[in-house]
Amino acid sequence: PYDLVHKWSNKPTLVVIDNVETVEELALFLNSSGESCLWLITTQKIDIFANCNDLKLIELTPLNKQESVAALKKPFEGKGQIDKNDEKKIEELADLLYDWPLLLNLALKDIQGQMNMPHYPKPKAVIENLTKNIKDWMKFDHENKISVTIEKNLKYLTREEKEYFKELFIFTADIDIPYSIIEKLWNLSDIKINVDILCRKLYYLSLLKKYDISQQVIQLHTHLRRYFLSKNETKKYLAEINKKFVEYYAEQYNLNSPENLPDNLPLQEKNFLLRVYKHHWRLARKC
């Protein structure tokens, strides 16, 4: 969103965001748009647009079985004869993928990749292997697996360490968060803690995506953040933490607007705040 504002806000721009899942993800970009910005957003959760006005919705229906079968057969054309048994297996694969549009797309890419090889396999082998992989995927309880892993690793943290870790999720995943920012966040409480030691511990427990001691930054996992934000009590807790974080900068530097960040901040910290502070300011004002 920061790059969007600073590079494209004054130019006629089409922004495409694919497969948005939460209101927070949507707001992060919409709050950063310029007047010349046009949006094309895809989602499977239409309720995230509940508070959006003047919205043009285009509902897309999934392919029917006949269309799915035709799509799955297409990569095999000109690559060898498909017999009746192969066609039956393609129909079974289409039935398997019917309620999973994303899987149909992945299946097609897999077939195309194999059939474009110099020495491509027989259609029967491709279809049977793909069907097995899809069935294995559908048996895997993804959310439950994540939940069990997180809770198991959290047992190695003290109660205070768990609270500090949870506070990090006021920030977006997959971006570098400087130590100086984390230190200010964690020092809002009465108990002081060593940022590097705890970040290193979190990283070795696979609770951080990135830990770079030379650059003094970390990154959060997207799945972990979604896991914590799926709980209403955690959302309320993080809203309060975010408010305290924003108030710290407002009071410390006498800010009356998110636009007026002080010049005497460390460069890494200021660059980070330029990217995210306006978003945190807006969220804090809603509390």
Residue by residue, pLDDT tens for the chain (287 residues) are: 667 777 777 778 888 888 888 888 888 777 776 677 888 988 877 888 887 777 888 887 767 888 889 999 998 887 777 888 889 999 988 888 766 666 787 788 888 888 888 888 888 889 998 888 877 766 555 555 556 667 778 888 999 999 999 999 999 888 899 999 999 999 876 667 889 999 999 988 888 989 998 899 999 988 788 888 888 888 899 999 999 999 998 998 888 888 888 888 888 898 898 888 888 998 898 76
Six token digits for residue 20? 């948005």
Q: Which residues contact 202 (CB under 8 A, 6 or more apart)?
A: 157, 165, 208, 211, 218
Residue reference for tokens 């809002």: 188
Q: So what's the pLDDT on residue 190?
A: 63
Answer whether 72's CB lies under 8 Å from 93's CB.
Answer: yes
Look up the pTM and report it: 0.55
Q: So what's the pLDDT on residue 217?
A: 94
Q: So what's the pLDDT on residue 244?
A: 92
Q: So what's the pLDDT on residue 56?
A: 85
Q: So what's the pLDDT on residue 274?
A: 86
Q: So what's the pLDDT on residue 53?
A: 76
- pLDDT tens column, 90-117: 998 888 876 666 678 778 888 888 888 8
Compute, in degrees rounded to 10, the torsion defined by CA atoms 247, 251, 252, 256.
90
Q: Which residues contact 146 (CB under 8 A, 6 or more apart)?
A: 223, 224, 227
Strands 177-178 and 37-41: unpaired
SS (H, E, C) 97-117: HCCCHHHHHHHHHHHHHHHCC
For residue 218, count other CB atoms closer than 10 A to its CB: 25
DSSP state of 74: G
For the chain, report the end-to-end CA distance as a whole number of angstroms: 22
